[in-house]
């Protein structure tokens, strides 16, 4: 009894001490407020510049009016509509970061990713075409190309030519640096020999950025621009030769640039998940069963709220990674986190959305199942989930190096 | 057809007080979807809510954008400029700071410069066609405009008065509900959509035209144009600078939602129907 009383007194004592501490804190805050201490106010992550807002709104409208009507036909025929592609060029969506001096839009990285996100809300396939053009092809050329190459290709990429990115081979996916395609110097030109798989935008491209190994002794990779117009003979997935030595970008493709690309495909997943969610919730608000909206069932509400939270978390992770990149700060770990998480969230969201829509969610008459099919690539391309996790772990390990 | 330039500039009035949908509270549509309906469903439908004090509708946090008819007006102005029939297109809007975004959209579509007439707070809440038309008349004189094109009406208040009032204040001819306009020498041929069909009139410049739905299809602001719009100027003006008093002569007594539709009643025979109508005092 005495022991418990003692304990009680101790607890009360510590409680009153903490109360006193709180009182002191409050009075200090009051005193500070009274003395007009100016604290910086940091805007939330969902703050955009006027330029970014305008871009996003313009693309949103464009996507809903010029792309949405074609989505299901393109999906059925498995063909990207030529009108849709030319509309993308007309709107300036294919050269967002390319400077006005090369005929591009001259906008920022964040604007381009907002564009990708808005496009993905309507059709993730169109979004990825735009994504590859802007962040793989254009970025690599702008950062690594010579002035001559930029003058030759950037205007075309901004106005009418789709670019293609050729990295993966049948024997090298995640292990990209083990690629077998070789660029062998012969007199004053290079001969490229190899065979590529998963050649993005192959059907529509006029310019191909081919990754090849120029220094077999070292572990290296270089990009070679292959131009369909400059008249060399090649067949897809077969050996080919290229005589144009001016089109060799002989530098290493490093992790930094790859992460830029990762950052953007994350927005595609985000847009995909949001688009799917935006299609589904109105349906749940209107579909009646057992005398009420299916949205009104607590089980549904909890699921919907959970998914909405995951979406918001994914959005903030990705916006933060993008802003870090723009600020010139280290962003690789954050980009990996964003990619891994957004892909998971996209999978969760689309899967749940089909359930919430019930039978109709399963049918092709509704766009939901397309989002479900499309989301899977998020965990695979631009670095698989396992690669992202390993990269994160490596960086975390280094952080604790002391 | 070339026209050098007595037509100096075209001022397009932009109304930003609407929301995306065409003025009605809209929910999503019935679940039998075709591609077209899916497309429609994607639009941001905002439910209009009446403020608790019943003095108006809730506008806080509601996304505002250019009035659809005003978009058509801007598009027509830019088309005239592209045909080299006018020298300069000036986009004008009256309202608080947010209105600048809408002016920028007009600049991104191709207008040359913008004028933001700053009206905010209580004044903005009571701003109506009479005040706006006075502002516009004053601006038209100041800028020496030759042609004013506006949307026929705003989709939030559906007044359909501003264009007509501007013309009256300036004593200019007007061509309202235009579905076609052609500049011929110093006259504007306007095809108007009226209840009985189409009426074609010729009005002398300077004139006021209000745009109807079928006048044109507004272009999208392309991304490069959005970037170019950043460099275009938006001048700031206050109504007082133009000598306009924005005090409203109207007082809103109350705003209510439309009454809930009651369920109907089924009847078996015509006699039953007549009986029920008599009961309800309808005949």
Instruction: Specify the higher pLDDT residue, B72 or B24.
Output: B72
Min Cα distance A379 → chain B (Å) is 27
Residue A204: pLDDT band with limits 50, 70, 90? confident
State the ipTM, two decimals.
0.71
- Residues of A within 8 A of B226 (CB-CB) are 51, 54-55, 58, 105, 107
Query: For A230-240, what is the mean pLDDT?
Result: 30
**A68, pLDDT greater than 80:** yes
Question: B191 phi and psi, to 5 degrees?
Answer: -100, 120
Query: For B198-204, what is the mean pLDDT?
Result: 95
Joined together, the tokens standing for residue B111 give: 């207008």
Does the CB of B38 have a partner CB in chain A at under 8 Å?
yes
Contacts of A396-400 with C-beta under 8 Å, sequence gap 24+, read: A396/A333
Residue A261: pLDDT band with limits 50, 70, 90? low
Give the C-alpha distances (Å, rounded to integers) separating A210 from A173, A226, A238, A240, B13.
14, 7, 13, 12, 52
Sign for the pseudo-dihedral over CA of A389, A390, A394, A397: positive
Min Cα distance B273 → chain A (Å) is 30
**A233, pLDDT greater than 60:** no
Measured CA to CA, the distance from residue B150 to residue B69 in angstroms comes to: 8
| pLDDT value for A83 | 92
- List, for residues A130-145, the tens digit of each pLDDT value: 998 998 889 888 887 8
Measured CA to CA, the distance from residue B183 to residue B7 in angstroms comes to: 10
Range from A27-41, A72-86, A169-183 carrying the lowest mean pLDDT: A27-41
Q: Around Cβ B101, how many Cβ atoms within 10 Å?
A: 17
Min Cα distance B25 → chain A (Å) is 14
Q: What DSSP character marks residue B119?
A: -
Which residue on chain A is closest to B221 by alpha carbon? Answer: A58
Measured CA to CA, the distance from residue B282 to residue A84 in angstroms comes to: 56
* Residue A115 CB-half CA count within 13 A: 33
* Residue B94 CB-half CA count within 13 A: 26
- Residues of A within 8 A of B227 (CB-CB) are 51, 100, 105-107
Asked if B41's CB is within 8 angstroms of A285's CB, the reply is no
Q: What DSSP character marks residue A134?
A: I
Nearest by CB to A54, which of B36, B43, B226? Answer: B226
Give the C-alpha distances (Å, rounded to integers) separating A9 from A6, A16, A18, A20, A268.
5, 10, 14, 16, 59
Contact A321, A335 (CB under 8 A): yes
- Residues of B within 8 A of A104 (CB-CB) are 224
Q: Using a pLDDT cut of 90, give the percent of chain A over it.
A: 42
Query: For B192-206, what is the mean pLDDT?
Result: 94
**Beta pairing partners, A212:** A222
Q: What residue ranges do the domains of chain B occupy? A: 7-282
Does the CB of B19 have a partner CB in chain A at under 8 Å?
no
Judge residue B97's burial from the number of C-beta atoms within 10 Å of its C-beta, 0-12 exposed, 13-18 middle, 19 or more buried: exposed
**A16, pLDDT greater than 60:** no
Joined together, the tokens standing for residue B27 give: 């929910």
Contact A199, A225 (CB under 8 A): no
A382 among known catalytic residues: yes
- List, for residues B34-43, the tens digit of each pLDDT value: 232 222 233 3
| pLDDT value for A256 | 45
Q: What DSSP character marks residue A171?
A: T
Contact A59, A112 (CB under 8 A): no
Does the CB of B41 have a partner CB in chain A at under 8 Å?
yes
Output the average pLDDT for chain B.
Answer: 82
Which residue on chain B is closest to A122 by alpha carbon? Answer: B42
In angstroms, the first-to-last Cα distance of chain B is 61
Does the CB of A143 have a partner CB in chain B at under 8 Å?
no
Residue A25: pLDDT band with limits 50, 70, 90? low
Residue whose token pair is 């998971």 = A344
Asked if B38's CB is within 8 angstroms of A68's CB, the reply is yes
Instruction: Specify the higher pLDDT residue, A73 or A179.
Output: A73
Output the average pLDDT for chain A.
Answer: 81
Does the CB of A194 have a partner CB in chain B at under 8 Å?
no
Query: For B191-214, what is the mean pLDDT?
Result: 95
Q: Around Cβ A222, how many Cβ atoms within 10 Å?
A: 19
Does the CB of B35 have a partner CB in chain A at under 8 Å?
yes
| pLDDT value for A10 | 61
Does the CB of A86 have a partner CB in chain B at under 8 Å?
no
- Residues of A within 8 A of B101 (CB-CB) are 50, 53-54
| pLDDT value for A7 | 62
Does the CB of A293 have a partner CB in chain B at under 8 Å?
no
Residue A253: pLDDT band with limits 50, 70, 90? very low
| pLDDT value for A194 | 85
Does the CB of A61 have a partner CB in chain B at under 8 Å?
yes
- Residues of B within 8 A of A55 (CB-CB) are 223, 226
Which candidate in A97, A169, A334, A382 is catalytic? A382
- Residues of B within 8 A of A367 (CB-CB) are 38
**A333, pLDDT greater than 70:** yes
Does the CB of A364 have a partner CB in chain B at under 8 Å?
no
Nearest by CB to A366, which of B33, B65, B221? Answer: B33
Does the CB of A353 have a partner CB in chain B at under 8 Å?
no
Asked if A66's CB is within 8 angstroms of B27's CB, the reply is no
Measured CA to CA, the distance from residue A124 to residue A118 in angstroms comes to: 9
Query: For A29-36, what is the mean pLDDT?
Result: 57
> CB contacts < 8 Å between A and B, how many?
89
Most confident stretch, A237-241, A288-292, B11-15: A288-292
Nearest by CB to A287, which of B31, B36, B220? Answer: B31
Min Cα distance B50 → chain A (Å) is 21
**A254, pLDDT greater than 50:** no
Joined together, the tokens standing for residue A161 give: 């030519």
- List, for residues A334-348, the tens digit of each pLDDT value: 999 999 999 999 999
Residue A383: pLDDT band with limits 50, 70, 90? confident
Query: For A11-35, what is the mean pLDDT?
Result: 56
**B139, pLDDT greater than 90:** yes
- List, for residues B43-92, the tens digit of each pLDDT value: 345 678 888 888 888 887 777 888 999 999 999 999 999 999 999 999 99
- Residues of A within 8 A of B65 (CB-CB) are 57
Query: For B184-207, what is the mean pLDDT?
Result: 93
Most B-contacting residue of A49, A53, A54, A364 (CB-CB within 10 A), to test interface: A54
Q: What DSSP character marks residue A295?
A: G
Q: Using a pLDDT cut of 90, give the percent of chain B over it.
A: 54
Instruction: Specify the higher pLDDT residue, A29 or A358.
Output: A358
Contacts of B84 (CB under 8 A, 6+ apart): B2, B3
Q: Would you identify the CATH topology of the domain B7-282?
A: Rossmann fold (3.40.50)
**B190, pLDDT greater than 90:** yes
| pLDDT value for A4 | 60
Cα angle B64-B21-A63, degrees, rounded to a multiple of 5: 85
Does the CB of B265 have a partner CB in chain A at under 8 Å?
no
Instruction: Specify the higher pLDDT residue, A30 or B275.
Output: B275
Asked if A106's CB is within 8 angstroms of B227's CB, the reply is yes
- List, for residues B230-250, the tens digit of each pLDDT value: 899 999 999 999 999 888 888
Does the CB of A116 have a partner CB in chain B at under 8 Å?
no
Min Cα distance A283 → chain B (Å) is 7
Joined together, the tokens standing for residue B272 give: 């039953």
- List, for residues A91-116, the tens digit of each pLDDT value: 999 999 999 899 899 898 899 889 99
Residue B18: pLDDT band with limits 50, 70, 90? very low
Contact A363, B38 (CB under 8 A): no
State the DSSP string of A43-84: PPTT---HHHHHHHHHHHHHIIIIIGGGHHHHHHHT---HHH
| pLDDT value for A348 | 95
Contacts of A280 (CB under 8 A, 6+ apart): A353, A356, A357, A361, A368
- Residues of A within 8 A of B33 (CB-CB) are 365-366
In angstroms, the first-to-last Cα distance of chain A is 50
Asked if A286's CB is within 8 angstroms of B28's CB, the reply is yes
Contact A357, A282 (CB under 8 A): no
Contacts of B242 (CB under 8 A, 6+ apart): B117, B135, B138, B139, B142
Query: pTM score > 0.80 for this model?
Result: no
Asked if A58's CB is within 8 angstroms of B227's CB, the reply is no
Residue A30: pLDDT band with limits 50, 70, 90? low
Query: For A118-122, what is the mean pLDDT?
Result: 95
| pLDDT value for B146 | 92
């Amino acid at each position: 009894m005495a022991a418990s009383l003692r304990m009680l007194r101790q607890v009360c004592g510590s409680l009153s001490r903490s109360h006193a501490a709180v009182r002191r804190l409050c009075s200090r805050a009051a005193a500070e407020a009274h003395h007009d201490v100016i604290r910086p106010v940091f805007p939330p992550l969902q703050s955009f510049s006027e330029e970014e807002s305008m871009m996003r709104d313009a693309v949103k409208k464009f996507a809903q009016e010029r792309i949405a009507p074609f989505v299901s036909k393109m999906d059925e025929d498995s063909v990207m509509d030529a009108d849709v592609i030319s509309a993308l060029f007309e709107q300036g969506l294919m050269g967002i970061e390319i400077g006005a001096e090369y005929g591009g839009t001259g906008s920022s990285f964040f604007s381009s990713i907002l564009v990708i996100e808005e496009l993905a809300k309507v059709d993730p396939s169109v979004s990825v075409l735009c994504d590859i053009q802007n962040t793989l092809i254009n970025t690599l050329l702008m950062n690594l190309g010579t002035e001559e190459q930029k003058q030759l290709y950037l205007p075309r990429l901004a106005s009418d030519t789709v670019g293609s990115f050729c990295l993966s081979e049948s024997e090298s996916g995640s292990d990209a640096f083990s690629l077998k395609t070789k660029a062998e110097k012969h007199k004053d030109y290079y001969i490229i020999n190899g065979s590529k798989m998963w050649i993005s935008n192959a059907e529509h491209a006029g310019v191909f950025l081919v990754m090849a190994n120029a220094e077999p002794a070292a572990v290296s990779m270089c990009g070679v621009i292959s131009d369909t117009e400059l008249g060399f003979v090649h067949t897809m997935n077969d050996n080919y030769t290229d005589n144009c030595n001016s089109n060799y970008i002989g530098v290493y493709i490093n992790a930094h640039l790859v992460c830029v690309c990762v950052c953007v495909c994350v927005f595609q997943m985000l847009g995909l998940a949001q688009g799917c969610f935006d299609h589904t919730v109105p349906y749940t608000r209107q579909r009646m069963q057992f005398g009420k909206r299916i949205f009104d069932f607590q089980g549904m509400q909890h699921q919907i709220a959970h998914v909405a939270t995951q979406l918001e978390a994914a959005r903030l992770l990705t916006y933060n990674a993008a802003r870090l990149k723009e600020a010139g700060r280290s962003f690789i770990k954050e980009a990996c986190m964003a990619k891994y998480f957004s892909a998971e969230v996209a999978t969760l969201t689309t899967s749940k959305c089909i359930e919430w829509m019930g039978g109709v969610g399963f049918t092709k008459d509704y766009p939901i199942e397309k989002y479900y099919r499309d989301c899977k690539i998020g965990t695979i391309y631009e670095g698989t989930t396992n690669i992202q996790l390993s990269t994160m772990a490596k960086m975390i390990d280094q952080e604790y190096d002391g | 057809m070339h026209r050098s330039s007595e037509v100096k500039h075209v001022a397009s009035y932009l109304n930003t007080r609407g929301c995306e949908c065409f003025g009605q509270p809209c929910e999503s549509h019935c679940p039998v979807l075709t591609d077209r309906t899916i497309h429609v469903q994607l639009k941001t439908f905002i439910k209009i809510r009446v403020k608790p004090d019943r003095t108006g509708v809730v506008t806080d946090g509601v996304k505002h954008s250019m009035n659809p008819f005003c978009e058509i007006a801007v598009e027509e102005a830019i088309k005239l400029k592209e045909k080299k029939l006018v020298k300069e297109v000036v986009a004008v809007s009256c309202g608080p700071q947010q209105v600048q975004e809408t002016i920028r959209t007009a600049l991104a579509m191709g207008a040359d410069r913008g004028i933001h007439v700053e009206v905010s707070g209580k004044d903005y809440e009571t701003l109506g066609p009479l005040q706006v038309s006075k502002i516009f008349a004053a601006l038209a004189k100041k800028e020496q405009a030759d042609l004013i094109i506006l949307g026929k009406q705003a989709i939030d208040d559906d007044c359909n008065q501003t264009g007509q009032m501007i013309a009256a204040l300036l004593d200019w001819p007007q061509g309202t509900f235009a579905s076609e306009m052609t500049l011929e020498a110093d006259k504007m041929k306007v095809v108007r959509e009226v209840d009985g069909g189409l009426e074609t009139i010729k009005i002398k410049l300077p004139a006021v035209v209000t745009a109807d739905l079928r006048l044109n299809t507004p272009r999208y602001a392309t991304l490069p144009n959005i970037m170019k719009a950043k460099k275009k100027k938006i001048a700031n003006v206050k109504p007082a600078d133009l000598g306009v008093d924005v005090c409203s002569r109207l007082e809103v007594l109350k705003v209510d939602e439309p009454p809930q539709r009651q369920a109907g009643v089924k009847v078996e025979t015509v006699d039953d129907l007549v009986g029920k109508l008599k009961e309800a005092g309808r005949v």
